Structure 1
Amino acid sequence: MQLINQVREQSPLVHHITNYVTVNDCANITLAIGASPIMADALEEAAEITQIASGLVLNMGTLNKRTVASMIESGKMANKIGIPVILDPVGAGASSFRNETAAKLLKEIKVNVLRGNISEIKFLAGLDSETKGVDASENDWTNSTDAQKIAQDLAIRLDCIVAITGKVDFVSDGNRTVAIENGHSMLSQLTGTGCMCSSLIGSYCGAAAEKTFEATVTALVTMGVAGELSFEKAGEVGNGSFRVSLQDAISKMNEEMLTRRALFYEI
């Protein structure tokens, strides 16, 4: 959990090519954890901006041909200079365009962390899945053993870290798998909490590229603990207050708080 200190000390620049629904949330959550966000999706500058970044987050939430091209160029640049790439395959399985884009990104870019909900990860693993827009279908939830195996198998196949977020989060590099039980159900009532998880992963990985597995776990614990604290403070008021409190909680997060409240274990 000490990696949070590394993020705050280094303030890594995290380049996002993300979606316009949650871009402000992603920028603010990156700032709240102590990193620095930049959002540059124009093809004319995307790769150049990536050259000065410490991490790259690619988010498929609102795709178009222009941003896909920018993602490819930025991803290739990130691979060239050796910074971590986090892919958030939002809505994979929902349309042919999303499916083709996810396949293209995974083929042309070395992804370090793949984070998605169970529907998205099941689809990318070649398993039957159901989507409800860009959310996981309630009919698509698997038990813990299934989710663990899906994460492990896909991590081995893609040679990357796979993170499945939901009621319980699973993070695997194919050898190690961790289950994280922090969080609150109210997080699922806000648009963008998955995107914010990817931004937190990008922030932690940007500060600790040599500890990508630990960085991913710590990022998801951070989000989960923040969700618990936010509900305790503002959950009964409503999800608008909960959203504001979520950012507050992350901005005030520290190593002691994470260590005390973290609920994760290796499987």
Structure 2
Amino acid sequence: MNPKIIDKVREKNPLVHNLINYVVMNFAANGILAFGGSPVMAMAEKEAEDMAKSAGAVLLNVGTLSSEDISSMILAGRTANKHHIPVVLDPVGVAATPYRSHVITNMLKKVKPTVIKGNAGEIAHLVDIPWEVKGVDSVGDGDLEEVAIKAAQKYQTNIVITGETDVICTGKKVIQNTTGHPYLAQVTGGGCLLGSIIACCLATDDAIEDQLATAVTFYGLAAEYAASQKAVTGPGTFKAHFIDALSFPVQKLKG
């Protein structure tokens, strides 16, 4: 982890264009603000191009789907590609239904993501590795590094697999992260917000492996810190303290 990347985000206050599912929109916006970014949750197709080309990074999250949202995501992603703006794709629940799988397959033909972030079941599905899933959740197990490397090679991009141990793959380099807390899996948007935090870090000029390792590690440290507070008695109280922790310096989270 490189704390200077977090400092850069807070100095730059990058605009992050979130085309994100409606269930977690408020949580993601508050998390980005706490972390130091500037969120915009613009889903309309008519402004997708203009918003994307003015952003520091673009997040495409398919948690809730409509035809217009899909069109907006593809337009925003293609625009970001054209202007060399980082794109994070979160293929939420891609293994849950044939429709979601078709949407993501089509999107990946038209948009080149800088990072694909998802749980093990989602990323495994993208590379045809059998993995047990339940709705949008991954419940199976297997070789995460194999899945990450195969996905990185197939899509020629960077991969983040979230779970008890997070796996980051940038080309042939694999990084593991063990920071985090089980409460993240009990809060709606615990995984989705990470995509937005990754997008914030991609708006800096640092090496991609440092950007991803910093985002994922800091996110886990913030969860650990929040869960350790005396006032936290469950997922509900954790959520508020977690948003607070995202605004803290790394030294405070480690101390």
What interval of TM-score do these two structures reach, taking the shorter chain for normalisation? over 0.9
Contact 2:170 2:208 (8 Å CA) reproduced? no
**Is residue 226 of structure 1 aligned with residue 228 of structure 2?**
no
What are the Cα deviations for residues 142-192 of structure 1, in whole angstroms up to 9, with x where unaligned? 2xxx10111012112211110000000000012211000101112111111
Tell me, what secondary structure is at the counterpart of 1:162? strand
Please name the residue that 1:206 is paired with: 203
Identity of aligned residues (%): 36
Q: 1:65 aligns with which of 47, 64, 67?
A: 67
Please name the residue that 1:256 is paired with: 251
Please name the residue that 1:264 is paired with: none
The aligned amino acid for 1:177 is: V
**Greater mean alpha carbon deviation, residues 193-202 or residues 127-136:** 127-136
Distance 2:216 2:231 in 1: 20
The aligned amino acid for 2:237 is: S
**Is residue 110 of structure 1 aligned with residue 106 of structure 2?**
no
**Is residue 241 of structure 1 aligned with residue 243 of structure 2?**
no
The aligned amino acid for 2:48 is: A
Distance 1:46 1:213 in 2: 28
Tell me, what secondary structure is at the counterpart of 1:19? coil
**Is residue 181 of structure 1 aligned with residue 200 of structure 2?**
no
**Is residue 85 of structure 1 aligned with residue 112 of structure 2?**
no
Distance 1:109 1:234 in 2: 45
The aligned amino acid for 2:164 is: K
Contact 1:151 1:174 (8 Å CA) reproduced? no
What are the Cα deviations for residues 53-108 of structure 1, in whole angstroms up to 9, with x where unaligned? 01000001001111000011001100000010000000011111110111111111
How many pairs are equivalent?
Answer: 253
The aligned amino acid for 1:205 is: L
Question: Is the alpha carbon distance of 1:240 and 1:43 closer, same or farther for their aligned partners in structure 2, counting shifts above 3 Å?
Answer: same
The aligned amino acid for 2:158 is: I
Distance 1:188 1:160 in 2: 26
Contact 1:200 1:219 (8 Å CA) reproduced? yes
Distance 2:234 2:180 in 1: 17
Q: 1:37 Cα deviation (Å)? A: 0.4
Q: 1:235 Cα deviation (Å)? A: 7.1
- Structure 1, unpaired ranges of 5+: 262-267
Please name the residue that 2:24 is paired with: 22
Tell me, what secondary structure is at the counterpart of 1:47? helix
Tell me, what secondary structure is at the counterpart of 1:57? strand
Please name the residue that 2:44 is paired with: 42
C-alpha root-mean-square deviation of aligned residues, in Å? 1.4
What are the Cα deviations for residues 109-138 of structure 1, in whole angstroms up to 9, with x where unaligned? 11110000011011011111222111112x
Please name the residue that 1:33 is paired with: 35
Please name the residue that 1:194 is paired with: 191
The aligned amino acid for 1:52 is: S
Residues 46-57 of structure 1: pairs in structure 2 closer than 5 A: 46-57=48-59
| TM-score (normalised: structure 1) | 0.91
Distance 1:204 1:47 in 2: 22
Regions of 4+ moved over 4 Å: none
